[in-house]
Amino acid sequence: MRRRQSGDTLVLIEAQLTASQRGLTMAETAASGNFKVIGTRPVRPDGVDKVTGRAKFGADYSFPGMLHGKVLRSPHAHALIKLIKIDKALALPGVKAIVTSADLPEAENKSEQAGEMAVNPRHLSANILARGKVLYDGHAIAAVAATSPHIAEEALRLIEVDYEILPPVMTVDAAMAPGAPILIADLRNKEEGDKPTNVATHYQFKRGDVEAGFKSADFIVEREFNTAMVHQGYIEPHNAVGIYNADGNATIYCSTQGIFDVRLLSSQVLGVEVGKIRVVPAEIGGGFGGKTTVYLEPLSVLLSKKTGAPVKLTMSRAEVLRATGPTSGSKIKIKMGATRDGRLVAAQIWMAYEAGAYPGSPVGAGAMTIVAPYTVENFLIDGYDVVVNRPKTAAYRAPGATNAAFASETVIDELAEKCGIDPLDFRIKNGVQEGSPQVVGPPYKRIGYLQTVEAIKNSPHYKSKLTGANRGRGVASGFWFNAGMQSSAIVNIHPDGTASVVTGSPDIGGSRASMAMIAAEVLGIPMTDVRPVVADTDSIGHTDVTAGSRVTFATGMAVYEAARDAARQLVERAAKAWEKKPEEVELRDGMLHTKGNGVPPVSIKQLAPRFPRTGGPIVGRASLNARGVGPAFACACVDVEVDPETGKVQILRATVAQDAGKAIHPSYVEGQMQGGTAQGIGWALNEEYFYDAKGILRNTGLLDYRMPTCLDLPAIDAIIVEVPNPGHPLGVRGVGEVSIVPPPAAIANAIYRATGVRMTETPMSPPKLLKAILRHRSSAANAKAAG
């Protein structure tokens, strides 16, 4: 692995030109830099506001005359809406307005680009307020605005809805069965022609000759895996305050991962021009992909328009679980083959993901990631996006990849065992590197997969001996694409020589710090002299969602370019003042120097007060559609102890290694790795949407929807691997997602070593594991009895 050698800010900027002349990549240039700010661990700029309670989250917004909204939700999983009667509710004193889907324009049934997603406006609108049919327990039907939340709630009870209940379709098996009840009457797929269906899309990826591949295999493992639907579990429920003005403009205050997406999606639902909506980002208490779409935001504007007052809506925890977007449960049938010497030769995979009520599961991503860490010569992967009577799924940290890796990484562990090879060595033997083909075809550019596996192999954890009864160690790997997309940034140089860096990326994981550090590095000033600001949709250029692990990569690239723009202007300004040519002046460590003999150096702080008399303000700008995305890999090692009498799994130790490219703020990279691992552990062991036979969600609170707490988790060791991404000026890759991918498979592999049981479903909760242990004991006893 490269280590930074020498240089400073000037080297960073000038070396860029030199590198270009020498044909080096930007990341190679960055790799030679000795950063002063990047790679350090300063206190986060928003820390004081957060710990003192001054930070304003969505529910903290309040305006004079504000009304409170509540949403009526379906008590049925699948039903026709025959009639909605609102007259009694409207008559309740304090109730100011009630809206149903009749108040929304009819949306088109088509696919439209919306940020990182393709969105069907008709489905989006019908998910905000059901149109003629409810498709899941908790589906929104009507919304009330009243003078208090209690009156609004009371009014919900007075709305009468006449339903015709239909049979619920809760699993992909049930939805794909011949004669299954159809959820969406006009849903079609290309293969079934004009036949109504619950299968929205079929994906297929193919390489080589699978049949011949299996013929060449010495060992074949074939298994079926099932994973439960799980929620992101962000602590802050959804919220929105909508203010509609008489001039036709509207403002939305909300907690979201993407202000521009809220603007676009709300405009689609409301039938309002995008430019008439302004979205102001509140602080966000977690999102993990779940806050990349809209639920309450259009309703707040609709109710505000009807009442002429600001309207605030907030969800309860039960509403979050019932009616926002969890990630898919899935069924995966997988068959993989390897030669005796441990070479993967074939994979055949069938996977179906629950999309929820409307199309759009991450099965395509699952299919593209399931063997992504490996060079498999022959594979056939079929993926199906299936609608079921559950909430419409949304993104969740590396969407689709965790389900997929649970299957493939368990089977790979089994193949390694059959070959008699250490599971990490098996991965190294088959692992992808620069030039290896991706599942979708193009070769990988520079990647750090093997380095993550080596990092685990050389870790104190893997080198330690695990002793004791009912204990086991498991490893697994994970891949995620990461994203680029559009970002904008402004760097303002203030009269005192400090700076502000303005972006449109809501800060979920500490990105304010990363943005300030990048600007500080380029300008050569302390990070504490840079104030990071997250602006609203009218105050910054278009910026896509804080998702896809893209902010430090893409918005960071925009900040880097905007800071360089400001630096260039500073150099020009100093040159002008000194009557020199710009190429005779350089910016180094926050000081402007003339090359050779000349004027004494001047700091930015000294130059800045003179801006009004030397040409005006200096503002650096950049807007880009980022290219050069560097994919991420992670490898995890987990030790468990299983209680054979109860099936309870205790995580004893966990270590994760991840390629960050370049860690701008290592503490926040480690935080992402630990957070992803913690969520992966929750997914593996306890989390699950539990529906009854009628399709009603039975665990709508965090007591019953069991997320891990600090009592369930050990300290998670994070090993940052840095293989610079050649597509980024600082070598950055996205770091926010991939660490969630390996834990379920790593835990399943550890459970196997502790108990001899191969788990093939999540959650591997005590009842399920105990059942599997008892079945295993019974088979072993029968085998012994049979001789």
Partner 1 sequence: MATVVIPSLLRKFTGGAERVAADGATLRELIRTLNARFPELTGDLVENNEIRPSIAVSVDGEIATSGMLEPVRPDSEVHFIPALGGG
* Residues that bind partner 1 in the complex, under the rule CB under 8 A: 111-119, 190, 201-206, 232, 287-290, 292, 362, 364-365, 368, 395-400, 440-445, 480-484, 547-550, 625-629, 727, 734, 736-737
Alpha-helical segments (H) within 590-687? 604-607, 611-614, 666-685
* Cα distance between residue 627 and residue 586, in whole Å: 29
| Residue nearer to partner 1 on the CB measure, 110 or 595 | 110
Nearer to partner 1, 398 or 453 (CB): 398
Residue showing tokens 């002063």: 36
Minimum Å distance from CB 748 to partner 1?
22
Burial of 164 (0-12, 13-18, 19+ CB in 10 A): exposed
Inter-residue contact 168 to 695 (CB < 8 Å): yes
Cβ distance to partner 1 smaller for residue 445 or 621? 445
What radius of gyration do the chain's Cα atoms show?
28
Q: Which of 340, 334, 426, 430 has its CA nearest to residue 380?
A: 334
Residue 423 CA, chain-centre distance (Å), reads: 28
Tokens of 487: 């970002």
The set of residues, in sequence order, having a beta carbon less than 8 Å from that of 758 and lying 6+ positions away, is: 223, 410, 414, 748, 752
Q: How far apart are CA 559 and CA 565, in angstroms?
A: 10
- Given a contact cutoff of 8 angstroms between Cβ atoms, the answer to whether 749 and 475 are in contact is yes
CB of 734 to partner 1, least distance (A): 8
Show the DSSP H helices in 95-188 as ranges. Answer: 121-128, 149-158, 172-176
For residue 23, what are the contacts with CB-CB under 8 A and spacing of at least 6?
none
Task: Identify which of residues 444 and 560 has a Cβ nearer to partner 1 in the complex.
Answer: 444
Calculate the CA 9 to chain-centre distance.
32
Cβ-based nearer residue to partner 1, 557 or 567: 557
Question: Nearest approach, Cβ of 616 to partner 1 (angstroms)?
Answer: 33
Provide, rounded to whole angstroms, the least separation between the CB of residue 203 and partner 1: 6
Q: Tell me how far, at minimum, the Cβ of 549 lies from partner 1, in Å.
A: 6
**From the CB of 292, what's the least distance to partner 1, in Å?**
7
Shortest CB 384 distance to partner 1, Å: 12
Query: 127: closest CA among 303, 268, 310, 324?
Result: 324
Shortest separation between residue 20's beta carbon and partner 1, angstroms? 18
Nearest distance from residue 350's CB to partner 1, in Å? 14
Question: Which CB atom, from 232 or from 749, has the smaller least distance to partner 1?
Answer: 232
Four-CA torsion 617, 554, 450, 635, nearest 10 degrees: 110
Q: Report the relative pairing of strands 79-85 and 160-165 from DSSP bridges.
A: antiparallel
Q: Which residues pair with 252 in a beta bridge?
A: 242, 279
Q: Are strands 530-534 and 499-503 parallel, antiparallel or unpaired?
A: parallel
| Cβ at position 692, least distance to partner 1 in Å | 28
Closest CB to partner 1 among 101 and 482?
Answer: 482
Distance in Å, CB of 347 to partner 1, minimum: 14
What are 486's strand-pairing partners? 625
- Tokens 């290694």, residue located: 657
Nearest-approach distance from CB 252 to partner 1, in angstroms: 21
Please state the separation of Cα 532 from the chain's center in Å.
22
- State which residue, 331 or 550, has the beta carbon closest to partner 1: 550
Pick 77 or 381: Cβ nearer partner 1: 381
Any bridge partners for residue 475, and if so which?
637
- Sequence-distant (6+) residues with CB within 8 A of 275 are none
Inter-CA distances, 494 with 526, 580, 602, Å:
14, 24, 16
| Minimum separation from the CB atom of position 624 to partner 1 (A) | 9
Residues 6+ apart with CB under 8 A from 499: 491, 492, 493, 519, 520, 523, 525, 529, 530, 531, 566
- Identity of the residue, 191 or 496, whose beta carbon is nearer to partner 1 in the bound complex: 191
Fill in the DSSP letter of residue 16. Answer: H
Closer by beta carbon to partner 1, 607 or else 735: 735
CA nearest neighbour of 270 among 460, 104, 441: 104
Query: For partner 1, which is the closer residue by CB, 361 or 492?
Result: 361
Helices (H), 370-422: 401-419
For tokens 């969602």, the residue is 545
Q: Which residues pair with 622 in a beta bridge?
A: 489
Based on CB atoms, which residue is closest to partner 1, 332 or 626?
626
Question: Where are the extended beta strands (E) located within 208-256?
Answer: 219-227, 239-244, 250-254
Cβ 679 to partner 1 shortest distance, Å: 10
Cβ proximity to partner 1: between 28 and 434 the closer is 434
- Please, what is the minimum distance in Å from the beta carbon of residue 737 to partner 1? 6
Closest CB to partner 1 among residues 627, 775: 627
Structure tokens of 768? 């399920």
Complex with partner 1: residue 620 or 727, whichever CB lies closer: 727
Q: By C-beta, is 202 or 531 nearer to partner 1?
A: 202
Q: How far is CA 305 from CA 86, 105, 247, 606, in A?
A: 18, 14, 11, 51
CB of 452 to partner 1, least distance (A): 19
Characterize 309-328 residue by residue with b for buried, 16 or more Cβ atoms within 10 angstroms of its Cβ, and e for exposed: bbbbbbbeebbbbbbbbbbb
For partner 1, give the closer residue by CB, 232 or 267.
232
- Nearest distance from C-beta of residue 157 to partner 1, angstroms: 36
Whether 723 and 451 have beta carbons less than 8 Å apart is answered as yes
> What is the distance between the alpha carbons of residues 116 and 545, in angstroms, rounded to a whole number?
7
CB of 104 to partner 1, least distance (A): 22
> How far is it between the farthest Cα atoms of the chain?
97
Phi-psi region of 296 (alpha: psi -120 to 50; beta: other; left: phi over 0): alpha
